[in-house]
Chain A
Amino acid sequence: MRDRITAFLVLLPSLVAVGVFVYGFIGQNLWASLTDWGRNPAQALALRPELKFVGLENYRELFTGFVDMRFRQSVVNLIFFTLFFMAGSLGLGLLLALALDRSPKGEGFFRTVFLFPMALSFVVTGTIWRWLLQPQGGVNVLPTLVGLPPLSFPWLTTRDQVLVFDWNALPFYTALVVGLVLLYLAWRAHREGEPKRLAWSLLAAGILFLWAFTVGRGLHLLPYPEPHGFSLALVGVILAAVWQMSGYTMALYLAGLRGIPVEVLEAAKVDGASEWQTYRHVIFPLLAPITLSAMIVLGHIALKIFDLIFAMAGLDYAPTDVPAIYMYLLAFRGNQFAKGAAIGLLLLLLVAVVVVPYLASQLRKEVRR
């Protein structure tokens, strides 16, 4: 019995620390985001600032206020960065793993080369790529080494945008995307023979589409159109991030490929499957769970990306802004703590949307086992 008490007392400091530093601080952050902390510069840096409760005002301003246009561009940047970074790392990682799975000579060497950027910090990677992507240097003069004309793409300094849309159309597009995801879920339910799930997904998708085309299209967040798009200055940042992280997805995929039992592959061969068919119908489906966990990890990294962009473009460069950068800028350069806290909380919600369903499904799998 005494030992049991000792055991609990040994764990207690950690429980208290996590309780305060995680749950307590999140609570405090939530409270801060509902106040006017920082609006009065004289109060901002006081040790015990006088705060006034303002409700959701900070959040409203971020999404619809005139001054926070930069936040909205940072959200759009984050979405595009996350999508392309995930696609790039998964694609390149899978290709590398498939290549190494064929046991080429020097496999160990290649594996080491593809994985070593993982050991670097995003700051080092960012510093390196900042130099590589100088307008008239590095990557752009690379073609001249083999006699081609140099490139002239101003990687990090361009202000061009593509895929531009009006911020006012955001609710409409969001509903559209979520609706499509629901349709996909319905299709999966149909294939897995679960009529109840199929019906619910279809119904939800239907309601969402109906809302999008009737109400959603007429909704206006701002009294004026505000264009936002995929900022091309992010291409270089994405390139650097893929350089750093695709080795990791390669390692995951390679472990998965090596884990496929030989009998399964031989059975496919006996059944007369061509190589492509084996990949399509045997190997890729077996890799699907790995893709999912890799997506979670990469998405998690992407949503809170900060150091890479800090090192590549600095804090004050709007075209490569992401919420984490803007949050730091507002809170620790501008003393706008309440608004910074609001962005921090929004990031927490975003990550929770990605991570919680995944954890729940993992937990359910554990229990079933």
Chain B
Amino acid sequence: MGRALLYAFLLLATLFFLLPVYLVVLTALKEPAKITLDTVWRWPDPVYWESFRIAWEAFRPKFQNSLVLALTATALSALVGALNGYVLAKWPFRGSGLLFALMLFGMFIPYQSILIPLFQFVKAIGLYGTLWGLILVHVVYGIPIVTLIFKNYYSEIPDELVEAARIDGAGFFAIFRHVILPLSVPAFVVVAIWQFTQIWNEFLFAVTLTRPESQPITVALAQLAGGEAVKWNLPMAGAILAALPTLLVYVFLGRYFLRGLLAGSVKG
């Protein structure tokens, strides 16, 4: 009896989580004229693959923007984070703890509280409407979380390793390059996954700081779905495209994804 109840509950929960996905795929595969509200749950007949071709054509530039944005910003912020974490964990100086704490504060602020000065600033330095402006913003506001992850990770590496290399005459960068970096792969994976999904999914900065030609896919999707008289197969196909990269990351690197999630969201 208890067991049956358990499975009934799990089945119900599974339906709650998966039915929306089912409906999205279903709608994306329907001919626009055949999307009527009373047949909404019926499987498309015939299956209309055109939606994906049209959606891909419409979204391809935005998809590319997102890809360039997320990959570049992730790479840069991982690099910055590794160096910062290395300094804070292995070369602490007087006041570095306080500076780190002040840095971490940047992780918690709602970005609405800096959005207007940020907008003015990006405009003033001529990067408004460009992908580079958005990359800069993501790298800077990513500093606290990536620094935190790398610092925590490097704190676990015994100081003796660094000390021994120093006695051998290795300098700051040589130690980083030959002792620390080879041990850093797991931290890089966690940071890369975290930053990639965050930046790919981000919306507020993207909608405030871009023009149509530099829009990431999240902005394009929100505008398409928000338009009047939409044919719903397109936003649904677009939603699948927009979700695909982060979903693939989740499916194939789920273990690291979860680790990043717990590290990032407990935040401290």
Contacts and interface: CB of A to CB of B under 8 A. Distances in A.
A345 interface: yes
Given A114-B13, A123-B203, A26 B114 contact: yes
A11 B106 contact: no
A26 B113 contact: yes
B34 to A, nearest CB: 13
Contacts of A2: 171
Contacts, number: 254
Contacts of B265: 248, 297
A136 interface: yes
B37 A134 contact: yes
A351 interface: yes
B242 A124 contact: yes
B111 A304 contact: yes
A177 interface: no
Interface size bracket, B side: 35 or more
A243 B37 contact: no
Nearest to A314: B226
B247 A116 contact: yes
Nearest to B88: A11
| Highest count of chain B CB atoms <10 Å: which of A17, A96, A131, A348 | A131
Interface stretch (A199-207, A276-284, A324-332): A324-332
Interface string B156-177: 0000000000100001110000
Contact of B117 (A17, A32, A359): A32
B116 to A, nearest CB: 5
Label chain B's interface by main secondary structure: helix
Interface string B209-230: 0000000001101100110000
Most buried by B among A119, A293, A328: A119
A348 to B, nearest CB: 4
Nearest to A331: B116
Contact of B91 (A7, A110, A124): A7
B41 A306 contact: no
Interface residues of A, number: 92
The 5 closest A-B pairs by CB, nearest first: A121-B201, A7-B91, A119-B250, A348-B113, A307-B203
Interface of B: 6-7, 9-10, 13-14, 16-21, 23-24, 27, 37-38, 40-41, 80, 83-84, 86-88, 91, 93, 96, 99, 102-103, 105-106, 108-119, 121, 123-124, 137, 140-141, 143-144, 147, 166, 171-173, 197, 200-204, 207-208, 218-219, 221-222, 225-226, 232, 235-236, 238-239, 242-243, 246-247, 249-251, 254, 257-258, 261-262, 265-268
Given A32-B117, A120-B243, 16 more contacts: A2-B171, A10-B87, A15-B103, A47-B123, A119-B246, A121-B203, A131-B27, A132-B23, A142-B19, A297-B267, A304-B112, A307-B204, A337-B116, A347-B110, A347-B112, A348-B109
